[in-house]
Amino acid sequence: MSFTFSTAVRRAAATALAGALLVPLTACGGGDSDGDGAKPTASLSGTPKSNLTVLAASSLTDVFATAGAAYEKKNPGTKVTFSFAGSQELAAQVQQGAPADALVTADTKTMDGLKGETGTPTVIAKNRLVIATGEGNPEKIENLKDLADTKLKVVLAAPEVPVGRYSEQVLDAQKIKVKPVSEEPNVRAVLSKVELGEADAGIVYATDAATATDKVDAIEIPDAQNAVAEYPAATLTSSRYGDAAAAFVAWLSTPEAQKILQDAGFQQP
C-alpha cells in the first residue's frame, strides 16, 4: 500500500507541475501571433520589420536597384520598393498624400518646396550634365553650341523637371538658343528618345548616359559651362514606418551606399 500511495503522489505532483509550466508558455505564444495588437518584430540589425516605399528621381533607377538589394541584405525583414518619376511628379504625389516613406529628388528646389511634409533633407550625391547623341555621334556634335543648329533634332526635359531646369541654365549662360523637338517629363524619357533615334541629341545626366553606352555616346560639357545637380533625401512625415525610413535615409550616406552611388558615376555630396 505504501508503494502505491507514493507512486500516486509523485504522478499527481508531476501533472500539477506540467500544468503550471504550460500556462506561461501559452501566454508567450499568444504574444507572437500576427493578429491585431501584436508587437512589431525586429530584424537582425534591430530595425523594425517594414515594407518601405521610396519615391526617387528617375535618374536613380539603376543605382537604387543595386542599393535597395544591398540594404535588404543588410536588414533582413525590411523590404524596399522604389517608385521612380521626375522630381516634380514625385512632389505632386507627396502633396496629394500618396502613401510613401521617403523621398529622393534630383534637386534641392523641389525638396525645399515640401517643407512640413518631410524630415530634414540630406544631400546624398551630386551629378553633372552631358550631351547624349546616337551611338558613334553621327551628327559630329562637339559642344553645347552645336545644339543650336536648326537641322538637328534636339530633345530636352521640360523646364519644371530638374534636368530641364539645369539644361536651360547652362544654355542660357552660354547665350545658346535651342528649339527642342519635344520637352520630356523626366531624364529617362530624354535618353530614350536619343536611344531610339527619335532625336539626334539631348541633355541628360552623366549617370544616365552611362547606363546606355551601347546605344548612345556622351559628349562632356566643361565644368565651367556645366551645372551641378544635388540629390537630397528625406523621410516623409506621413510614413507609417518612421524609424525604418529614417534608418534607410541615414544609410544612404554610409560608406557602403556611397560606394554604390560613386561606382555608378555619381559624385560625392
**CATH annotation of 50-126+231-263:** 3.40.190.10
What pairing do the DSSP bridges indicate for beta strands 122-134 and 216-220?
antiparallel
C-alpha to C-alpha distance for 140 and 128, rounded to whole angstroms: 21
Residue ranges of the chain with per-residue pLDDT less than 70? 1-48
Domain 50-126+231-263 shares a fold with domain 127-228: yes
Report residue 210 as a C-alpha cell.
552611362
The whole-number pLDDT of residue 49 equals 79
Amino acid at 262: Q
Q: Are 232 and 111 in contact (CB under 8 A)?
A: yes
The whole-number pLDDT of residue 250 equals 98
**β-strand partners of 267:** 126
- DSSP element (H, E) containing 77: none
The whole-number pLDDT of residue 170 equals 98
Domain ranges of the chain: 50-126+231-263, 127-228
The whole-number pLDDT of residue 46 equals 52
Give the global pTM: 0.81
C-alpha to C-alpha distance for 261 and 136, rounded to whole angstroms: 27
Read off φ and ψ for residue 84, nearest 5 degrees: -100, 140
What pairing do the DSSP bridges indicate for beta strands 154-157 and 182-184?
parallel
**CATH annotation of 127-228:** 3.40.190.10
C-alpha to C-alpha distance for 121 and 67, rounded to whole angstroms: 19
